[in-house]
Chain A
Amino acid sequence: AQSVTQPDIHITVSEGASLELRCNYSYGATPYLFWYVQSPGQGLQLLLKYFSGDTLVQGIKGFEAEFKRSQSSFNLRKPSVHWSDAAEYFCAVGAIKDNQGGKLIFGQGTELSVKP
């Protein structure tokens, strides 16, 4: 069955420290992979996406993610966290086959807190 797992429900980092949010997926075909961010009371904003090509993708707000097919992972990283990065982060996988990329399967989310 298709699934996305975000092992960390809540992470706290100090401002200026580096960040890595983990995402593992289970999907029988080549996936589309996404990271979305949700600020409190807001909708979801796309941070970055992987469709094909270079496995290291750059996104907005200084985020990057690396697709590792052998590990079925798509971890999100940021070298230096800012207080405004506090939010909930969702990893999602979409199907390439039959043009179903928008039918997303989401992970449970990781809530990020930033200490001053």
Chain B
Amino acid sequence: NAGVTQTPKFRILKIGQSMTLQCTQDMNHNYMYWYRQDPGMGLKLIYYSVGAGITDKGEVPNGYNVSRSTTEDFPLRLELAAPSQTSVYFCASSYAGRTEAFFGQGTRLTVV
């Protein structure tokens, strides 16, 4: 069972470059989320989606964009990478708002 799959697992970006973190889930979940994890800070919600075509900002959305064209995919876009975006990024999904979230393995991003 694949669950939530994130690619790539690791990436190094130069300041000002752009990239897309991919996330796909095969559980037919309506809700999807992007979190970032920084040491000693827990996880912070970046963006979330409650269904295809619907996205909304979380706690720390600045510098990121998302889209949700299908139920399965929820890519996260960094347009102008900055050192402050060095972090571990987790994608998650849940069947509905009232159920637990399932997490991917994470993408470790370093911006230099």
A→B interface (CB under 8 Å): 4, 9, 32, 34, 36, 41-46, 49, 51, 90, 92, 95-96, 98-109
Q: Which of B40, B44, B45 is A9 in contact with, Cβ under 8 Å? A: B40
Task: Check B97 against A106 for contact (C-beta < 8 Å).
Answer: no
Neighbour of B100 across the interface among A9, A46, A107, A109, CB < 8 A: A46
Q: Of B43, B94, B96, B102, which contacts A106 at CB under 8 A?
A: B43
A107 to B40, CA, bound (A): 9
- The residue of chain B having its C-beta at the shortest distance from the C-beta of A107 within the complex is B42
Complex: A107 Cα to B31 Cα, angstroms: 22
Is there an interface contact between A109 and B90, defined as CB atoms closer than 8 Å?
A: no
Complex-state Cα separation, A99 to B90, whole angstroms: 21
Q: A42-B105, A43-B90, A44-B90 are in contact. Are A101 and B99 (CB under 8 A)?
A: yes
Residue of A nearest to B3 (CB): A43
Binding site for A on B (CB under 8 A): 4, 31, 33, 35, 40-45, 48, 50, 58, 90, 92-94, 96-106
Q: Are B40 and A43 interface neighbours, CB within 8 A?
A: no
Contact of B101 among A96, A102, A109 (CB under 8 A): A102
List 4 A-B pairs, minimum CB-CB distance, nearest first: A99-B97, A106-B42, A102-B94, A43-B103
Given the contacts A32-B98, A34-B100, A100-B97, A43 and B105 also touching, CB distance less than 8 Å: yes
Known contacts A46-B100, A99-B98, A108 near B106 by CB under 8 Å: no
Of chain A, the residue at the smallest CB distance from B56 is A103
Give every chain B residue within 8 A of A96 (Cβ-Cβ): 98
**Residues in A neighbouring B105, C-beta threshold 8 A:** 42-43
Do B97 and A104 touch (CB < 8 A)? no
Q: How far is the CA of A102 from the CA of B48 in the complex (A)?
A: 9
| A109/B42 contact (C-beta < 8 A), A43-B90, A43-B106, A102-B99 known | yes
